[in-house]
Amino acid sequence: MRLTQTKAELRAATAIRPRAVVMTMGALHDGHAALLAEARERVGPDGSVVLTIFVNPLQFGPTEDFDRYPRTLASDLAIAKNEGVDLVFNPSRDELYPNEPSITVHPGPLADELEGVFRPGHFSGVLTVVSKLLHLTAPDLALFGEKDYQQLTLIREMVCDLDMDVDIVPVPTVREPDGLALSSRNRYLTETERDEALVLYRALSAGAKAGMNGPDAVMAAAQAELEAVPSVKIDYLALRAPDLGPVIGPGEARMLIAARVGLTRLIDNISITLR
């Protein structure tokens, strides 16, 4: 496995086109490992897997946790090596943004909903760095977790609308045995807060079980679970179509939630079949 930290090193190392990329901000956990394992499986023994590690300042708001976001390069590299990664790109801020960017990706109206209401400008920062990293790594496949479902949806839209020559591969959310979605921010939770955070998955699961009774029943079941833990402050609970448009009739849907547990903000989502 090779570690690169400049764009010149990356270009030299990818003279043979890498075939799969997994983009992260580091602080890797089993969810990231699942992305890397899926990438390794999809490209086969003769393909290449590239991991990018970069805490992207453009996607953090002025009151968010950019400075305290966990940076754990040594353990990240150990996980990458264990999952068969061929190349790690870990640029500095100045390397990826030598000048303050004056041109960024406009993510469209979906970016102003759900997460966008609480994190204005977030998805412009996400799509800008994803666009740059797709350009630099030139992969055939890029794998993203479904836990960040709105992000995944917007990346798919960007790739389609801008005719980027890459396949976006979604990978299901990885959870702890008790259902808590894996997140680098889980390490901020106290023991009590972690127990409280389990209500997010309970609410989503209750909504999914109520799918046979229609959208109103789904929302009512989820809200009943959330009301039982008032210390968890809900930013939003929403039921949307798979493309995050409005739900129209029976079929597949997606329920999304964001909440604050103590000082930590968590997101999660689940697929629901509406009857």
Backbone angles phi, psi at 84, to 5 degrees: 80, 25
> Which helix (DSSP H) or strand (DSSP E) does residue 76 occupy?
helix 73-82
Residue 48 known to bind ligand: no
Measure Cα distances from 226 to 132, 196, 234, 258 in Å.
Answer: 39, 10, 8, 12
Question: Do the beta carbons of residue 154 and residue 131 sit within 8 Å?
Answer: no
Establish whether 251 is an annotated binding residue.
no
To the question of whether residue 147 is assigned a binding role by annotation, the answer is yes
25 annotated as ligand-binding: yes
Q: Find out whether 61 is annotated in a ligand binding site.
A: no
Q: Say which of 32, 106, 122, 135 is annotated catalytic.
A: 32
- Residue 222 annotated in ligand binding: no
Does 28 show up as a binding residue in the annotation? yes
Residue 47 marked as a ligand binder = no
Asked if residue 93 belongs to a known ligand binding site, the reply is no
Any known ligand binding at 30? yes
32 catalytically annotated = yes
Is there a contact between 91 and 55 (Cβ–Cβ < 8 Å)?
Answer: no
Sequence-separated contacts (24+) of 3-11 with Cβ below 8 Å: 3/77, 3/88, 3/90, 4/87, 4/88, 4/89, 4/90, 5/89, 5/90, 5/91, 5/92, 5/95, 6/91, 6/95, 7/91, 7/95, 7/96, 7/136, 10/87, 10/89, 10/91, 10/136, 10/137, 11/136
Q: Is there a binding annotation on residue 146?
A: yes
| Catalytic (active-site) positions | 32
Q: Which residues are annotated as a binding site for beta-alanine?
A: 59
Q: Which residues are annotated as a binding site?
A: 25-32, 59, 145-148, 151, 174, 182-185
Q: Which residues are annotated as a binding site for ATP?
A: 25-32, 145-148, 174, 182-185
Q: Which residues are annotated as a binding site for (R)-pantoate?
A: 59, 151
